């Protein structure tokens, strides 16, 4: 189960797990000092300091960083929150767009997507094999590559916006990319025999 929450919510969650247990739950040990706060209650451990928060909870857990939070149930999970100046909130969906999860197109598929919005971790779209994909009036804003294409994949971009922290496009193998009226934030990386054709109306930013 994945859920985006604020760091304040995570701290509250940790404190509830650690402290809001019945009186007969067992011995509670709380240590507060210059090094932060340490709490131990019947297998529940929480450590919070200026570097972040770590929680260990039998049967449930949370893992968080500045980009979001993952919550798990059933199983011992370590929870780690990276320190930061602000918590991450899921990006709002632009008007006229529909949120979509990570897309993988492979084999001999032919797909067309319009008015999509993809954001978050990892790569936005991965094109493999002989897939032919057309993306129209869409926006991708991720911390990986906005689009990663390999094999004999073909991509046509029309009036779309791509931003990837790792790069806007990674084209490998015999990939063929054609773009028109689109905006790119991030590097365009070509490897092997990959081809990148720029038609009219494109904008490129590093």
**Residue ending a domain, choose from 82, 113, 141:** 82
pLDDT at residue 81, as a whole number: 39
- The Cα–Cα gap between 163 and 178 comes to 17
Residue 79, pLDDT > 80, answer no
52 neighbors 78 (Cβ within 8 angstroms): no
Which domain range does residue 43 map to?
Answer: 7-82
Residue 91 lies in a domain: no
Residue 89 lies in a domain: no
**Residue ending a domain, choose from 49, 82, 115:** 82
Residue 92 lies in a domain: no
Write down the residue that tokens 């092997």 correspond to. 192
Looking at the structure of the chain, the number of domains it has is: 2
Do residue 115 and residue 195 come from a single domain?
Answer: yes
49 or 64, which is more confident? Answer: 49
Residues 6 or more apart whose CB falls under 8 angstroms from that of 11 comprise 48, 53
**Residue ending a domain, choose from 82, 110, 139:** 82
Residues facing 203 on adjacent strands: 183
Task: Please write the tens of the pLDDT for every residue from 159-192.
Answer: 999 999 999 999 999 999 999 999 999 999 999 9
Do residue 71 and residue 111 come from a single domain?
Answer: no
- The Cα–Cα gap between 139 and 94 comes to 9
Residue 97, pLDDT > 60, answer yes
């Amino acid at each position: 189960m994945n859920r985006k929450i604020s760091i304040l919510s995570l701290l509250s969650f940790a404190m509830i797990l650690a402290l809001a247990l019945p009186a007969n739950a067992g011995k509670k040990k709380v240590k507060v000092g210059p090094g932060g706060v340490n709490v131990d209650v019947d297998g529940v451990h929480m450590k919070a300091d200026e570097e972040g928060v770590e929680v260990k909870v039998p049967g449930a857990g949370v893992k968080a960083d500045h980009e979001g939070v993952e919550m798990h149930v059933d199983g011992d999970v370590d929870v780690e929150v990276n320190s930061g100046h602000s918590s991450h909130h899921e990006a709002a969906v632009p008007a006229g767009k529909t949120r979509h999860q990570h897309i993988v197109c492979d084999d001999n598929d032919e797909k067309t997507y319009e008015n999509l919005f993809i954001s978050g971790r990892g790569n936005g779209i991965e094109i493999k094999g002989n897939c032919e994909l057309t993306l129209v009036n869409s926006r991708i804003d991720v911390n990986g590559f906005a689009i990663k294409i390999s094999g004999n994949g073909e991509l046509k971009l029309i009036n779309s916006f791509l931003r990837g922290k790792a790069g806007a496009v990674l084209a490998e193998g015999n990939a063929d990319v054609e773009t028109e009226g689109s905006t790119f934030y991030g590097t365009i990386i070509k490897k092997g025999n990959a081809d990148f054709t720029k038609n009219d109306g494109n904008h490129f930013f590093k």
